[in-house]
């Protein structure tokens, strides 16, 4: 039998339900693997004060915290339920959560010193839903601070290294989630996507990830970065696995999240096995501009050809405002973030500076010391674009262009069913290479930002290897509420290709 960690989430779930392996065994197996990949600087678990292993030099820095006692407690509960024939859909299957979701039984840091030992009195709705489906929480995953970044170099606990090449970035902001899945430290993980933070790390690490339509998954308990853009989503080995998780994660949260859509819970797996013959895939010409590196382009072209053999029709489309998504996003997201992060003031929770002379000094020192550079920069940008005299020219204007971008997509969807293209212009870059050129980082978001701004569902799946043998991801964008169609298309692709099965042989 293959190793436990080689099983897909679906296969593992079946194995546990059929008592081939116990939930406890599964948890212990993954915990051992996970602990070898904790961050070097880490948040002590105030509930258990558990220190991580020494000599972590091979660690990719994916996991921030554990609570072994709690994990095993959940696993035991799962085994008991299975014994009684009361198994829930994902009973006993381990999952790890991006450290942006608050959890009662693990500290939540959002990759920030500001929340170094923060203990939330409640769980995020997404966490609760997965737990109610029977999943076992393994630990919290490293991410860019407050979800701001595209490389996971912006974490207070150290960067996440790309499992395929540990001198390269894993991508961000859900870098820890992507790396953990790529290394099979857990069968799947949760991530969040505001401007590409699920899709891009999934692409860099060779795994599959999906951001659903805005409003599908509850944002309650998801530490807010940009409220009108943030969405939770699964990151896993395949579209099939993502579908299982997405079904458990999504659903209206009418009592707690006013932006949650009042649409019924769906089984996103229901169309997986349908034929995609005759499907029209739109190819936006703006996604194939000069900025796209040739190695990435080759992989994408290969993938598109594969689709043709499946009977798909490729249709040229235009998304003329693609380039504008960068300035629009980098106005709206920082603006909302600057306000969302005002609550971090050293008064009610979290970090407080040691020395201060008065209230104003308390605020300034706490926030200056507690936040990292990228976060401070975005707060500054956001504060500026909202400030007196600039609101109309920047924020309001950006909101208007946002509608135009959304309209572009609707126009495009008149002639196609889904849209395909690259996730990023290039493969994962070297750690430290772009840290001093954040604008280059921002420009690299060009393909993921449009779907975020429009609130459309979008996913990334592996479609080859590019320069330096690094993974390349194919992006697919669907129309509103069409996640099951997207997953269907992705699944059919994954049935006739095997990029998504390429794991890291020699992964410890």
**According to CB under 8 A, which one of 76, 397, 468, 503 is a site residue for other proteins?**
397
433 binds other proteins (CB under 8 A): no
Q: Which residues contact 465 (CB under 8 A, 6 or more apart)?
A: 299, 471, 472
- Torsion (CA) 232, 235, 240, 244 in degrees, nearest 10: -50
The reply on whether position 56 binds other proteins by CB under 8 A is no
For this structure, is 469 an active site residue?
Answer: no
Residues 466, 425 contacting (CB under 8 angstroms): no
Could you tell me the smallest distance in angstroms from the CB atom of residue 489 to other proteins? Answer: 20
Q: Which of residues 469-488 bind other proteins (CB under 8 A)?
A: 480-481
Q: Binding residues for other proteins, how many (CB under 8 A)? A: 103
Q: In this complex, which beta carbon is closest to other proteins, that of residue 304 or of residue 362?
A: 362
Ranges within 349-388 binding other proteins (CB under 8 A): 349-352, 356-365, 367-368, 371, 376-377, 379-381, 383-384, 386-388
Is 444 a binder of other proteins (CB under 8 A)?
no
Query: Does 348 engage in binding with other proteins (CB under 8 A)?
Result: yes
- Per-residue x/- mask for other proteins, residues 230 to 269, rule CB under 8 A? ------------------------xxxxxx-xx-------
- Report how far apart, in Å, the C-alpha atoms of 492 and of each of 65, 138, 455 are: 36, 31, 24
> Is 197 among the residues known to form the active site?
yes
Catalytic status, residue 98: yes
> Given the complex with other proteins, which of 124 and 246 has the nearer CB atom?
124
420 DSSP β-pair partners: 476
- Smallest separation (angstroms) from other proteins to the CB of 227: 4
Residue 396 is given by DSSP the state I
Range list of H helices, 36-144: 68-83, 125-132
3-state secondary structure of 317: strand
> Between residues 75 and 381, which has the closer beta carbon with respect to other proteins?
381
Beta carbon of residue 330, minimum distance to other proteins (angstroms, whole number): 6
Residue 44 contacts other proteins per CB under 8 A? no
Q: Pick the piece of the chain touching other proteins (CB under 8 A) from 13-21, 118-126, 155-163, 202-210.
A: 118-126
CB closer to other proteins out of 15 and 127:
127
Q: What's the full length of the chain, in residues?
A: 508
The answer to the question of residue 40 lying near other proteins (CB under 8 A) is no
- Write the interaction track for other proteins spanning residues 14-33; mark x where CB under 8 A is met and - where it is not: --------------------
Q: How far is the CB of 371 from other proteins (least distance, A)?
A: 8
**497 lines the binding site for other proteins (CB under 8 A):** no
The only residue of 77, 339, 468, 497 in contact with other proteins, by rule CB under 8 A: 339
Catalytic residue among 173, 174, 177, 218: 173
Burial of residue 33, with CB atoms counted within 10 A of its CB: 0-12 exposed, 13-18 middle, 19 or more buried: buried
Tokens of 11: 């296969």
For residue 364, the minimal CB distance to other proteins (Å) is 5
Residue 124-143 contact track with other proteins, rule CB under 8 A, x = bound: x-------------------
CB neighbours of 366 closer than 8 A, spacing ≥ 6? 344, 345, 346, 351, 352, 353, 356
- Residues 272-331 within binding reach of other proteins (CB under 8 A): 323-324, 326-328, 330-331
- 291-324: buried (b, 16+ CB within 10 Å) or exposed (e) per residue? ebbebbeebbeebbebbeeeebebeebebebbbb
Kindly report each contact of residues 79-88 with a partner whose C-beta sits within 8 Å and lies 24 or more positions away, as own/partner. 79/22, 79/23, 79/24, 81/134, 82/16, 82/17, 82/19, 82/23, 87/17, 87/134, 88/132, 88/133, 88/134
314 CA to centre of own chain: 28
Cβ contact 258:244 at 8 Å = no
Segment contacting other proteins (CB under 8 A): 151-159, 161-169, 295-303, 340-348?
Answer: 340-348
Q: Which is nearer to other proteins, 4 or 102 (CB)?
A: 102
Whose Cβ is closer to other proteins: residue 116's or residue 306's? Answer: 116
Cβ atoms within 10 Å, residue 466: 20
Known catalytic residues? 98, 173, 197
């Amino acid at each position: 039998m293959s190793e436990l960690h080689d099983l897909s989430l679906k296969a593992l779930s079946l194995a546990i339900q059929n008592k081939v392996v116990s939930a406890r065994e599964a948890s212990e197996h993954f915990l051992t693997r996970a602990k070898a990949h904790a961050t070097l600087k880490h948040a002590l678990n105030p509930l258990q004060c558990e220190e991580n292993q020494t000599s972590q030099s091979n660690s990719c820095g994916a996991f921030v915290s554990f609570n072994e006692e709690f994990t095993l407690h959940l696993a035991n509960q799962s085994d008991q339920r299975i014994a009684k024939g009361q198994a829930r859909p994902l009973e006993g299957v381990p999952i790890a959560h991006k450290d942006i979701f608050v959890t009662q039984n693990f500290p939540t840091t959002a990759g920030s010193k500001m929340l170094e030992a923060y203990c939330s009195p409640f769980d995020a709705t997404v966490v609760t839903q997965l737990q109610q489906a029977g999943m076992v929480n393994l630990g919290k995953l490293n991410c860019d601070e407050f979800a701001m970044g595209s490389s996971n170099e912006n974490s207070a606990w150290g960067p996440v290294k790309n499992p395929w090449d540990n001198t390269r970035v894993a991508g961000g902001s859900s870098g820890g989630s992507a790396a953990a899945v790529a290394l099979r430290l857990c069968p799947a993980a949760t991530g969040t996507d505001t401007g590409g933070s699920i899709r891009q790390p999934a692409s860099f690490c060779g795994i599959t990830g999906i951001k659903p339509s805005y409003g599908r998954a509850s944002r309650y308990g998801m530490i807010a970065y940009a409220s009108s853009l943030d969405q939770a989503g699964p990151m896993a080995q395949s579209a099939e696995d993502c579908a299982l998780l997405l079904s458990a994660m999504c659903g209206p949260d009418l009592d707690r999240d006013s932006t949650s859509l009042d649409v019924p819970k769906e089984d996103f797996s229901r169309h997986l096995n349908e034929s995609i013959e005759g499907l029209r895939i739109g190819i936006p010409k703006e996604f194939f501009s000069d900025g796209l590196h040739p190695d990435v382009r080759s992989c994408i072209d290969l993938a598109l050809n594969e689709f043709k053999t499946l009977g798909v029709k490729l249709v040229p489309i235009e998304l003329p405002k693609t380039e504008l998504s960068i300035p629009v996003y980098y106005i709206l997201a920082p603006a909302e973030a600057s306000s969302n992060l005002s609550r971090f003031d050293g008064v009610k929770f979290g970090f407080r500076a040691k020395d201060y002379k008065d209230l104003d000094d308390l605020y300034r020192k706490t926030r200056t010391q507690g936040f990292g550079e990228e976060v401070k920069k975005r707060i500054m940008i956001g504060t500026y674009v909202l400030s007196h005299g600039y609101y109309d020219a920047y924020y309001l204007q950006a909101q208007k262009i946002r509608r135009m971008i959304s309209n572009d997509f609707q126009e495009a969807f008149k002639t196609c069913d889904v849209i395909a293209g690259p996730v990023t212009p290039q493969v994962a870059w070297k750690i430290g290479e772009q840290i001093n050129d954040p604008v280059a980082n921002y420009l690299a978001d060009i393909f993921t930002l449009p779907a975020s701004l429009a609130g459309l569902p979008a996913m990334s799946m592996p479609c080859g290897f590019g320069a330096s043998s690094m993974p390349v991801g194919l992006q697919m964008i669907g129309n509103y509420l069409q996640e099951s169609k997207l997953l269907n298309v992705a699944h059919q692709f994954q049935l006739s290709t095997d990029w998504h099965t390429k794991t890291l042989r020699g992964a410890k």
